[in-house]
Structure 1
Amino acid sequence: MRALAVITALALIACGGGGSTSGAPGGGGSTGEGGMTSAGGSSVGAGGEPLMNPGALVDDGLIARYFLDEATTGQPSEVIDHTTDPLDLALTWDTTGDPAGYFEDPEGHRGIAFPAITRNDRASIAIDGTKIQTRLAGSATMTYELVADIQAVEPLGSRLCHIGFDTDHTLSLETNSITRLEMSVNHDLGGLGAVSLADLGRAVFHGVVDTREADPQERVRLYVNASRVPNLAPTPPDQNDTLVIDDGRHFVIGNREIGGRTIQGTIYYAAIYDAALTAEQVLFNTTLLLADDDAPN
Structure 2
Amino acid sequence: MHNASVSTEPLTNTEAASQKRSLKSNGYLLAGAAIMLLLAAFALLAPVLAPSDPNAINPVQSLKSFNFEGHLLGTDNLGRDLLSRLLYGGRITLISSVVAALISTSLGTALGLIAAYYKGWIDVIVMRLTDILMGFPFILLAILIVAALGPSTINALIAVAIANVPFTARLVKSEAARVREREFITAALALGANHQRIVLSHMLPNIISVTIPTLFMTTGWMIGQTSALSFLGLGTQPPTADWGSMLAESQNYMASLPQVAMLPGLMIVIAVVGLNLFGVGLRSSLMREE
User: TM-score when scaled to structure 2?
Assistant: 0.25
Which structure features the higher share of strand residues? 1
Max Rg structure:
2
User: TM-score when scaled to structure 1?
Assistant: 0.25
